[in-house]
Amino acid sequence: MNSFDRWTQPEALQRLEGLFVLVVALWLYAGLEVSWGWWLALLLPDLSMLGYLWGARVGAIAYNLFHTYALPLLMLGAGFWLRDSLWVGLGVIWAAHIGLDRALGYGLKRASGFRDTHLGRLGRTP
């Protein structure tokens, strides 16, 4: 596979998309009047992974529910509707977290195990 072919693969495009979401979220957050402490405290932790304490199936459901853009977009919409910059900021951080995960190759999970994602198997060599 040549270098051009690599960027036509869906996995690579979704990683690039995730990076784009992360960068745009950072730019949007910088324009909000919300403490950067929220960004630092909430960008990396992933409480949805606690679902894996109850097995791969429950873990995949919990992870996937919190790693689709639908819920952060609802939070953003509610924040705009309520004119609440904290809700908007939290929605932006949530979207940034998902973007970061996707950029790093952490796709939506399959019930067969944490390492099995819609972007391929984690730890796979290219």
Per-residue pLDDT of 30-61, as tens digits, reads 999 999 999 999 999 888 989 999 999 999 99
In a domain, 126, yes or no: no
User: Is 108 in contact with 63 (CB distance < 8 Å)?
Assistant: yes
pLDDT the model gives residue 5: 63
pLDDT the model gives residue 30: 96
Q: How many domains does the chain have?
A: 1
In a domain, 2, yes or no: no
**Cβ-proximal residues to 46 (8 Å cutoff; 6+ apart), any chain:** 63, 97, 101
Q: What is the extent of the structural domain holding 29?
A: 12-114
User: Is residue 62 pLDDT above 70, yes or no?
Assistant: yes
pLDDT the model gives residue 105: 84
In a domain, 68, yes or no: yes
Q: Is the pTM of this model over 0.95?
A: no
In a domain, 96, yes or no: yes
pLDDT tier for residue 119 given thresholds of 50, 70 and 90: confident
In a domain, 6, yes or no: no
In a domain, 119, yes or no: no
User: Is 56 in contact with 71 (CB distance < 8 Å)?
Assistant: no
In a domain, 86, yes or no: yes
In a domain, 122, yes or no: no
